[in-house]
A and B are shown apart, each in its own frame.
Chain A
Amino acid sequence: MPEPLIQITDLHKKFDRHNVLSGVNLKINRGESIVVIGQSGCGKSVLLKHLVKLLEPDSGTVVFDGQDISELQGRKLINLRRRYGMLFQSAALFDSLTVAENVGLGLKEERSHSRAEIEAIVNEKLSMVGLSEARDKYPDELSGGMRKRVGLARAIAGDPEVLLYDEPTTGLDPITADMINDLIVELNTGLNVTSVAVTHDMTSAYKIADRIVMLYGGKVEYDGTPEEIKSTSNEIVRQFISGSAVGPIRVG
């Protein structure tokens, strides 16, 4: 059994007095594609942010490639983050920069590429998400779905080893969503990028996941392949994936 690339152990996080994560354990192997599902507000985005130390746990550890990330500071933390690409749920585009500048910013600040190289990479990534013609627009001139895709192009610009996608297909029409699913699969299988995607879209989850993980009550409630989850007897999971208001999960 190879050592997992990312190992989350007994992660606890609360905001004020509100427990969000209360003992999450998860191992993610190199090259795997994990999909995290769970109710709105259950802490999926919070979990993703812990992977790149945008949030720090109250207790528990995140180990990346053999290194406990809580010990990383300064230069080392920057190097960790550069191995990741992150698509934010809100896209989080820099609104003072054009689409092309957004996508190229990481490369520009890394100072390892020439201007022409950056230009070429930006064009390539934008065409991968189907937005070549939007390159000189500003984020406030884009639709929500277009912003998401720019965020995706920005996340993949540095050819990261691990991609974190926070709801990559939310707000997209079914056809564009499917194109994005294909892209995620292509990056994962073709380039062996490890991916962790949060989604509510079960079609997308079945398509991109090697393993689906369900968060519930601040813990991992379920962890299995798409095939397994479809035939699970776990009532909570069944209610969630069938999208039923009746069952053990209560809303609110």
Chain B
Amino acid sequence: METGLTTLGRRGVSFISKLGGITLMLAKFIASLKEMHRSIGLIFEQLYVLGVKSLPLIVIISVFVGAVSAWQAAYQFKFIGAPLRYLGQAVGKAVVIELAPVLSAIVFAGRVGAGIAAELGTMRVTEQIDALESMGISPIRYLVMPRVLSCLFMVPFLVVFANFIAIMGGLIVSVVGVDVSSETFLNGFRNSFELGDFINGMIKAAVFGLLIGVVGCYEGFHARGGAQGVGLATTNSVVISSVLILIFNFIFALILFRI
């Protein structure tokens, strides 16, 4: 009979072997970059499919993220009696440092990472990846590299928009709902804005993008056994990349923001 402990042990081992596989996929991706010139067309196609098409979704979530953070900040300010002229600062910092990169990445993992895992998983179980290999075409160069590269560029690209739209969302709520003038809000934001925060956010976004792409490709490549296997790969890709995003985000916080 299997005890809870052995199950846990087996899960642990399989999780560690997964991390190993993901690292290996990352290494293969990096090695394939030297053949980037051969996949330029594919890269642009993926940039469009994965990135530009995600923009509407990012815009919508960003408006509401900005809006709710302004509202909640105002609510907390009321309790501790902080002056509302700091509202722009509070919203700005939260958005630029944490909310825009992390939430955009999680949404991107759900939309794009899952899509990559499903597409490559289907190609795996229908032998299309074998067919590529049999033709002497490297699936890493042909499939993985354009997708991971697009994720790497597109998450930061989307975060730029997310920053801007979320601040706008916060501004609207402040003006309409909290009765803070737009000048006060924007002054608060401007006075506290630091380029370093923005850049750190971009770096995080790029790392998250890399993670999402590599995990999606890894899961797709290792899909087994028909539609069910593809479904499992898709779910796994979202779960694993979301967890890794949050873990990495915490590590970034420890490194970048020393108390």
Which residues does A use to contact B, with CB under 8 Å?
49, 52, 54, 77-79, 81-82, 84, 86, 88, 90, 92-95, 105-106, 109-111, 154, 158
Q: Which residues does chain A contribute within 8 Å of B38, judged by CB atoms?
A: 109, 111
A109 near B134 with CB under 8 A, answer: no
B137 at the binding interface (Cβ < 8 Å): yes
Q: Is B14 an interface residue (CB 8 A)?
A: no
Which residue of the partner chain, among A54, A79, A94, contacts B128 with CB atoms under 8 Å?
Answer: A94
Per the bound structure, the CA–CA distance linking A202 and B126 in Å amounts to 27
Q: A78-B138, A88-B131 are in contact. List 4 more A-B contacts (CB 8 A).
A: A54-B130, A78-B136, A88-B134, A94-B128
**Chain A nearest CB: distance from B258 CB in Å?**
45
Q: Can you name 9 A-B residue pairings with CB atoms under 8 Å?
A: A78-B138, A79-B136, A84-B134, A88-B130, A88-B134, A92-B126, A94-B128, A106-B135, A109-B136
Q: How far is the CA of A95 from the CA of B132 in the complex (A)?
A: 12
Q: Is B194 an interface residue (CB 8 A)?
A: no
Say yes or no: is B142 at the interface (Cβ < 8 Å to chain A): yes
Verify A106–B126 contact, CB threshold 8 A.
no
Chain A residue nearest to B132 (CB atoms) is: A94
Q: How far is the CA of A94 from the CA of B129 in the complex (A)?
A: 9
Would you list the 5 A-B pairs with minimal beta carbon distance, nearest first?
A: A92-B127, A92-B131, A81-B136, A78-B136, A82-B136
Nearest-neighbour CB distance to chain A for B126, whole angstroms, equals: 6
**Closest residue on chain A to residue B122 by CB atoms:** A95
Bound complex: CA A110 to CA B131 (Å): 15
- What residues of chain B lie closer than 8 Å to A154, measured between beta carbons? 135
Distance to closest chain A CB from B49 (angstroms):
10
**Assembly CA distance A79 to B131 (angstroms):** 15
Q: Name the CB-closest residue of B to A49.
A: B130
- Is there contact, CB below 8 Å, between A106 and B128? no
- Shortest distance in angstroms between A211's beta carbon and chain B's nearest beta carbon? 23
* A109 in contact with B135 (CB, 8 Å): yes
Chain B hits for A52, CB < 8 A: 133-134
A240, B142: Cα distance in complex, Å: 42
Q: Give Cα A111–Cα B37 distance, bound, in whole angstroms.
A: 12
**Interface pair A81/B130, CB less than 8 Å apart:** no
A88:B135 contact, CB within 8 angstroms: no
CB distance from B137 to the nearest CB of A (A): 5
Give the distance in Å from the alpha carbon of A94 to the alpha carbon of B135 in the complex: 12
Question: Cα distance A128–B246 when bound, in Å?
Answer: 56
Interface centre among B132, B135, B137 (most CB of A within 10 A): B135
**B90-128 with Cβ < 8 A to chain A:** 122-123, 126-128
